Chain A
């Protein structure tokens, strides 16, 4: 499929630059003479030489254009164009003679007008070749490719025996003039060749390279119904592209989903085949793991468990012979012992000296009493037993 084509329409010739589909490099340049009043002949000739491009951008030559610097309120570009359309004869002298379609240069006060009937006829003719998605003044298209060069005055093609001058400042169109005096363009430079594209095709190249973002809110140089049709076509194209993109994403997700499902099924199939062979080894492995877990548990519990048997033995050994333990209570390694002895005050220092006890302290007051001519004292002592000294 052919790529996009830019078409410059001058009073004498039609120039076409066709871009390659994906690389957007210039694939073909064509120049043919034409009669602006019989565009169908030119379209037939172009069709036979270039085939059918994907879409067309038209650049209307300066020879067909009325140019005016307008001073309008700072509103959106389409609103400013609407103001011009409301009273075109206020801005363009030709508007009194014939109906004009108008537009503005992007981010510039330069307005362009062109005969509405001619533009409509050209669009209709070129639509038989390929969809026309944009119509703009040729100076704008030229400025698009020249903006990469540098600012300044450039000599551009205008009407017969006329000279056109395009002034670019800071990458924007500052002025566009057409003059019958050849000296008017004396200070301007000739438009250079853009890469391998000859200089006369600069406007067609600029038109071919047009992208929607280049409009910057400025409407096309065409009548309102066509602009609406173009907007609707663009919306349809965007919607179709969005639907295709969504379908593509959905399909990709579906494909990925199937792929993962197949992966899982293949894994399960493989594991079900191999598990039969591995059953004896699996049983042996389970037993081994079980024994390893048992060994780990035993090691862990034996290392950390409390040792009440050892604690009782240590307490018995540490207490003096005359001490009597009436009750002992343990929670883990924390012990509480209650009993009687002849001198309770010696117990805490005695137990505290023991290597396997710490945090030794009295829990309650000691009471003294006599029994069979002997004095006794009660004690209630808390301590912590160290299982491994």
Chain B
């Protein structure tokens, strides 16, 4: 082997070049071969594990539809007996709409005037796969109406979590009307 300067390479130089070439070759094999293979292998193993789990789940329920339907009915009855259910809808937008209707209905029943209702916020994860829709309400009413409105929100048939509340007299309004601002979160169940 001759160098670029025309002289023969010393054994030490040849060794250095050989070691360098070996290191480069090994690095190339690791980076271009071993690592992608390991990554692909790991992903496939995860997929196999997930598929096995899914298969085991599916196999365990084949032919048990009657039993599962019965359990579902029993659970449904138990939830109904509890008096409080989640807002249920196919999509988040429909759930927000349902929430708005519910608030309007409570306000009408409590003789409270809702001046602003915002249920267009991004859903909040409240653990696992469950989400809650945030909403803010501004309303006016007398002390009895507002108390009834709060009671309906708190103990109504749809589950609502009141997070913020401000009650103050509104000097602009005549009589004993109060101004109330309510922040709430309504956990939702998306139907599949």
Contacts and interface: CB of A to CB of B under 8 A. Distances in A.
Instruction: Report whether chain A binds chain B.
Output: yes
Interface of A: 253, 257, 260-261, 263-264, 267-268, 270-271, 274-275, 277-278, 280-288, 290-295, 297-298, 300-302, 305-310, 312, 326-332
24 contacts: A253-B37, A260-B41, A260-B45, A267-B52, A277-B62, A281-B64, A281-B65, A284-B61, A284-B68, A293-B129, A294-B86, A297-B187, A298-B79, A298-B85, A298-B187, A301-B159, A301-B187, A302-B84, A306-B161, A308-B165, A309-B151, A328-B165, A329-B166, A332-B163
Q: Is the interface of A mostly helix, strand, loop or mixed?
A: helix
Contact of A309 (B41, B71, B154): B154
Nearest to B151: A309
A264 B51 contact: yes
A297 to B, nearest CB: 5
Contacts of B127: 297, 300
B178 to A, nearest CB: 9
A308 B75 contact: no
A271 B55 contact: yes
B168 interface: yes
A261 B79 CA distance: 45
Contacts of A329: 165-167
B161 A278 contact: no
Contacts of A332: 163-164
B189 interface: yes
A308 B162 contact: yes
Given A291-B79, A301-B161, 12 more contacts: A271-B55, A278-B58, A281-B62, A281-B65, A282-B58, A285-B61, A290-B189, A293-B128, A293-B130, A298-B187, A301-B187, A328-B165
Given A257-B41, A293-B189, A298 B169 contact: no
Interface of B: 37, 41, 44-45, 47-48, 51-52, 54-55, 58-59, 61-65, 68-69, 71-72, 75-76, 78-79, 82, 84-86, 126-130, 147, 150-151, 153-155, 159, 161-169, 187, 189, 191-192
B69 A327 contact: no
A309 B127 CA distance: 26
A281 B161 contact: no
A302 B68 CA distance: 27
A309 B160 CA distance: 13
B55 A274 contact: yes
Nearest to B129: A293
A267 B79 contact: no
Given A281-B65, A284-B68, A301-B159, A309 B147 contact: yes
Contact of A298 (B86, B155, B192): B86
Nearest to A283: B65
Contacts, number: 140
Contact of B82 (A261, A285, A298): A298
Contact of B150 (A267, A281, A309): A309
B150 A260 contact: no
A385 B104 CA distance: 28
A298 B151 CA distance: 17
Contact of B164 (A293, A327, A331): A331
A284 B55 contact: no
A274 B58 contact: yes
Nearest to A261: B44
A250 to B, nearest CB: 9
A302 B159 CA distance: 8
A388 to B, nearest CB: 14
A141 to B, nearest CB: 31
B84 A308 contact: no
A301 B86 CA distance: 11
A271 B51 contact: yes
Contacts of B82: 295, 298
B68 A295 contact: no
Given A278-B61, A291-B72, A327-B167, A297 B55 contact: no
A59 B99 CA distance: 98
Nearest first, the 5 A-B pairs at minimum CB distance are: A284-B68, A327-B168, A281-B65, A291-B75, A281-B61
